[in-house]
Amino acid sequence: MVRLDRIYTKGGDDGSTSLGDGTRVPKHHLRVESYGTVDELSSVLGLVVARGLGEPLASELRAIQNDLFDVGADLCVPGEAGARLRLTPVYTQNLEGIIDRENEKLAPLTSFILPGGSELAAWMHVARNVCRRAERLVSQLGAMPDEAGRVNPEVLKYLNRLSDLLFVLARVQNDDGKRDVLWKPGQRIG
């Protein structure tokens, strides 16, 4: 359990921070950027819920916010560090269940869609983009020679599936896709 008695420690005043295993790294380290972006994503999802998302999606997004803290905990400690929290395939399977349920009511797309439509759909697209950025950062982290084998591959799978879910939920918030804003290639030409 986490217990915070003090909010500031002054330990990061020199531009460094501690990972979960006690290692000190610069605050701009790719691992810190990765879990920091996951935290940003959770904040955007909090905005989506606060804007009046209906049930059961609001509860499901709050559960996903909790999952994202698990993602951050996983990323915060490099490699296998004892019995600490690790994402498992069940996390991704839970997302897939929601995707399948919500996508069932949507008509297939015949064009790419532009972010927008309703305000909640636009926020879902912002969340999707932050999720994709987190995914790119985690992928880049895992490709670093000194990080090989120290990033849980389930984190990438989860983030990839979460961005898919956020795309589907954006369409759901656009009256089940009826208010999607379609891309019109070359519309401004001529």
Helix axes 153-173, 119-143, angle to 10 degrees: 170
Kindly indicate the confidence band of residue 187, based on its pLDDT and cuts at 50, 70 and 90.
Answer: confident
Q: Identify the residue with better confidence: 42 or 6.
A: 42
Could you give the percent of the chain with pLDDT greater than 70? 90
DSSP lists the bridge partners of residue 181 as: 114
Task: Give yes or no for residue 8 having a pLDDT over 70.
Answer: yes
Q: According to the model, what pLDDT value does residue 82 have?
A: 45
Phi, psi of 78 (to 5 degrees): -65, 140
**Superfamily classification of domain 26-180:** Cobalamin adenosyltransferase-like (1.20.1200.10)
Q: According to the model, what pLDDT value does residue 11 have?
A: 67
Interval 78-104: pLDDT, tens: 876 544 678 999 999 999 999 999 999
Q: According to the model, what pLDDT value does residue 10 have?
A: 72
Q: According to the model, what pLDDT value does residue 7 have?
A: 73
For the chain, what is the radius of gyration of the CA atoms? Answer: 19
The mean per-residue pLDDT over the stretch 166-178 comes to 96
Ordered by start, the domain boundaries in the chain are 26-180
Task: Give yes or no for residue 27 having a pLDDT over 90.
Answer: no
The mean per-residue pLDDT over the stretch 20-45 comes to 86
Q: Identify the residue with better confidence: 181 or 13.
A: 181
| Element holding 114 (H helix, E strand) | strand 113-114
The average confidence (pLDDT) of the chain is 89
| Residue 130 vs residues 80, 127, 136, 169: alpha-carbon distances, Å | 27, 5, 10, 15
Interval 133-162: pLDDT, tens: 999 999 999 999 988 788 999 999 999 999
* Range in 6-10, 35-39, 152-156 the model is least confident about: 6-10
